[in-house]
Structure 1
Amino acid sequence: MASPAVDDYLKTIYHHTEWQSARITPSQLAAVLGLAPSSVTEMVQKLAAQGLVTHRPYGPVSLSPAGERRAAAVIRRHRLIETWLVREFGYTWDEVHDEAEVLEHAVSDRLLDGIDERLGHPRFDPHGDAIPDAAGRVHREPFVLLADAAAGHSGRVLRVSDRDPALLRTLDEAGVVVGAIVTVSGMSGTAAPTTLVVDGTELTLPAEAAGVIWLSA
Structure 2
Amino acid sequence: MTPMKEDYLKIIFELGGTHKKVSNKQIALSLNVAAGSVTEMISKMTEEGLAVHVPYSGISLTKKGVRAAEELVRKHRLWEVFLVEKLGYSLADIHDEAEQLEHVTSDRMINALDEMLGNPTHCPHGGIIPDRSGHYHEDSHQVLNDAKDGDIVTVDRFIDNHDLLTYLGELKLDIGDQVKVLKHDPFEGPVTVQNLTDDTELIVSYKAAHYVFVK
The answer, yes or no, to whether TM exceeds 0.5 is yes
Question: What residue in structure 2 maps to residue 119 of structure 1?
Answer: 117
Q: Which gives a bigger RCO, structure 1 or 2 (Cα 8 Å, sep 6+)?
A: 2
**What is the identity, as a one-letter code, of the residue corresponding to 2:123?**
D
The answer to whether the 8 A contact 1:23-1:60 is kept is: yes
Q: Is residue 2:183 matched to residue 1:187?
A: yes
Q: 2:43 and 2:198 mapped to 1: Cα distance?
A: 53
Following TM superposition, by how much is the alpha carbon of 1:200 offset from its aligned partner in structure 2, in angstroms?
4.3
Name the residue aligned to 2:168.
171
Instruction: Output one character per residue of 1:120-139: Cα deviation in whole Å (capped at 9) or x when no partner.
Output: 11111111111112222321
Structure 1 range deviating more: 49-58 or 196-205: 49-58
CA-based RMSD: 3.6
Identity, % of aligned positions: 32
Return the offset for 1:38.
7.9
The answer to whether the Cα contact below 8 Å between 2:121 and 2:130 also exists between their aligned partners in 1 is yes
Matches within 5 A, 1:52-201: 52-55=50-53, 60-140=58-138, 144-163=142-161, 165-180=162-177, 182-184=178-180, 186-188=182-184, 191-201=189-199
1:73 partner SS: helix
Is the CA contact (8 Å cut-off) linking 2:18 and 2:60 kept in structure 1? no
Residue 123 of structure 1 aligns to a residue whose secondary structure is coil
TM-score, scaled to structure 2: 0.76
What's the counterpart of residue 214 of structure 1?
A: 213
Greater mean deviation of Cα atoms: 106-115 or 54-63: 54-63
* Contact 1:52-1:67 at 8 Å conserved across structures: yes
Q: Distance in 2 between matches of 1:58 and 1:197?
A: 36
TM-score w.r.t. the length of structure 1 is 0.76
Is the 2:147–2:181 Cα contact (8 Å) retained in structure 1? Answer: no
Q: 1:138, 1:9 → 2: CA distance?
A: 20
Deviation at 1:44, TM superposition (A): 5.3
Q: Give, in whole Å, the separation in 1 of the partners of 2:25 and 2:201.
A: 38
* Aligned mates of 2:205, 2:39 — CA distance in 1: 31
How far residue 171 of structure 1 moved from its aligned partner, in angstroms, is 2.4
Q: What amino acid is the match of 1:76?
A: R
TM-superposed deviation, 1:212: 2.3
Asked whether the equivalents of residues 155 and 214 of structure 2 are also in contact (C-alpha less than 8 Å), the reply is yes
Q: Give the deviation of 1:88 after TM superposition.
A: 0.9
CA distance, structure 2, for counterparts of residue 127 and residue 145 of structure 1: 14
Distance 1:102 1:202 in 2: 37
Q: Which moved more, 1:14-23 or 1:167-176?
A: 14-23
Q: What CA deviation, in whole Å up to 9, does each residue of 1:133-169 have, x standing for no partner?
A: 2222321365642223344433332112233x34422
Of the structure 1 ranges 105-114 and 182-191, higher mean CA displacement relative to structure 2 is found in: 182-191
Q: Say whether 1:17 aligns with 2:38.
A: no
Give the 3-state SS of the residue equivalent to 2:118 in structure 1.
coil
